Amino acid sequence: MKILKLLLPLVIFALSFQPLLAQQKSPITPELLWQMKRVGNPEVSPDGLWTAFTVNEWDIDANTSTTDIYLLHNETGEQRRLTYSGKEGSPVWSPDGTRLAFVSRRHDGPGQVYILPVKGGEAQKLTDLPVGVFGLKWFPDGQRLAFAANILPEYNGDWDKLRELQRKMRDSKVTAKVTENAMYRFWDRWLTDGFYPRLFSLELGSGKVTDLMPNTVNYFNMMGGVSYDIALDGRTIAVSMNTTEPPYDNTNYDIFLLATDGSGQMTNITPENEADDSSPVYSPDGRYILYGKQSIPHFYADRVVMTLYDTRNGSKTPLTENIDLSCQDWFWSADGRTVYFHAEDQAMQSIFSMPAAGGQHTRLFHSGTNSGAQLAGAQRIIFNHHNLSSSAEIYRLDLGRRGGLTKMTAFNDDILARIDFGRIENVTYKGANDADVQMFINYPPNYDPSKKYPLVMMIHGGPHGTFGDFWHYRWNSHLFASPGYIVAFPNFHGSTSFGQDFAISIHGEHANQPFEDIMKAADYLIERGLVDENRMAAAGGSYGGYMVSWIAGHTDRFAALVNHAGVYDLHLQFASDYSGNRGAQYGGTPWENYDRLNSQNPSQFAHNFKTPMLVIHGERDYRVPINHGLLVYGIYKGMGLDARLVYYPNENHWILTPQNSIFWYNELFNWFGRYLTD
């Protein structure tokens, strides 16, 4: 009894202290980043009551991931998990809302079409093909499904023959890859094996699969996937497809109308445009096709203008020609009177609406990064939202209610609640040509305004991209700041989301204005008394790595550099996966205007190298071939300078597996620690 009396105050103290322990936070770590669940874009049911979406989870120890499908009630927020195999994706609702079709690998083969009754029951496998399927869509009558698959054209509709062709390829002892094409590999795969994508239809009753594009050998989307829509009567598909032929010196995507009877009959409805036409979507009544039109063939970040095609008379009407936004992911209201769309907008990804007949656009939501928006009834939009300090979740926006934003899922709230996030500041400073340049500043946890901090300058890739207000798993600014650094990421000249003129301003001259913007960003931070000018580092990937090598040859203001998958020698970029239009992008080629090319070529300024550089590169990076990294590293070592090489034999342009990513961050921290600590 006496012992109990002695212990009782200790127990009460421990219980009273428990909430304080629960509230303690710590900086983010790479391990926490990989413990987070990754919530996919919503797929809203036809009646607007339910949303299907995927959740991807990673197992760090196993270095593998699982993906399952969840169901969300759009009114109550009720959620339930629909699948448990961990091998599912791409859910799409049947027109009557009773079934979900999806792609699954639960049978341990390539992904096949499955169907699941939403109210309960077992999933049914509908296809058994030797190749994986993707891009599922229901026909409006609910009796057929469309999908895409990569095939060898010589299979001639015989799936058994395709199996045999694949077996022979696997068993062949010849490993040579042979081509006469200018584009012969892309991103991390070779194109010399002869596979091309096609669209197919699947009859649910009989299981019959029909090749809708016999004899077609064109690419849909070089990064994978396909953009298409099915007409209301089910007789025609509008699909975006490349029209150029071998040797693929360049690409040009047009919109085709494809018959769905298996005849392969196709009509190109945008042949006059030499730039890309993409993402066709039929109006609810089937009369119009809304698609995206670009106008400059050699500028990949050219503004996308939403354009209406009238199927009755073939006329084309641009809807956003006078709006300085590059539109994407558009969709119609049920009555066809309103069009909704996403667009990059001042380093964010906003949601807009406008009359389908043209007129003034309205910004509906401007915060963070938003994707996959769909209507759930007439007055609600369901979408995926994330920002610099919060990972992706499903949100609901009530259009008729002021401030009508509701967070519908909370898969990572428990992890986020344990993280001590530094403050984010959105600033504008004067850059090259006295232009306004936007920049985010990520302060470290427990920031002390009386101190000056080491600076890490993050430089985005592209160059026509953005370090925007979005949650990043590969270049997470909070992780960069976690050791006690101020992290700044300027959206320099050439960045998207600030208008066409700003984006195209560096076309043909990639280095000068961004370099000045970055240097002036450092000056701005120093003048504000935020950073120690003797402890500054710069890190960038892809074009950001190009700029890191440019910095190395033009200033010694930084104490350390990190070059991930960076372009070092512009000549080597003609060994890239796609070398079309590089002469326009660089202002020259190795055989024409080469003096101008070399004036923007980091490799021509190696004699000025002084700053220590960490070089990181993946063997399967065909966008920026591995020799860029090996060459700059070799030159550094030959000059007797501090350099470190981190080489990944099985990663591409990005580091995509947990253990390699965690190792990447630790190498980054160790490198910064060498040169940024007192």
Low-confidence spans in the chain with pLDDT less than 50: 1-22
Per-residue model confidence (pLDDT) at position 261: 97
Which of 375, 307, 369 minimizes the C-alpha distance to 344? 369
Which parts of 11-63 are beta strand (E)?
A: 38-39, 43-44, 50-59
In angstroms, what CA-CA distances link 206 with 127, 201, 263, 398, 587? 11, 12, 19, 42, 57
Give the DSSP letter of residue 5.
H
Peptide bond into 95 cis (omega under 30): no
CATH of 420-676, one of 2.60.40.10, 3.30.70.260, 3.40.630.10, 3.40.50.1820: 3.40.50.1820
Per-residue model confidence (pLDDT) at position 23: 61
Give the DSSP letter of residue 26.
B
- In the chain, which residues fall in CATH 3.40.50.1820? 420-676
Q: Which residues contact 571 (CB under 8 A, 6 or more apart)?
A: 590, 597, 601, 603
Output the pTM of the full model: 0.94
Per-residue model confidence (pLDDT) at position 401: 79
Q: Are 162 and 155 in contact (CB under 8 A)?
A: yes
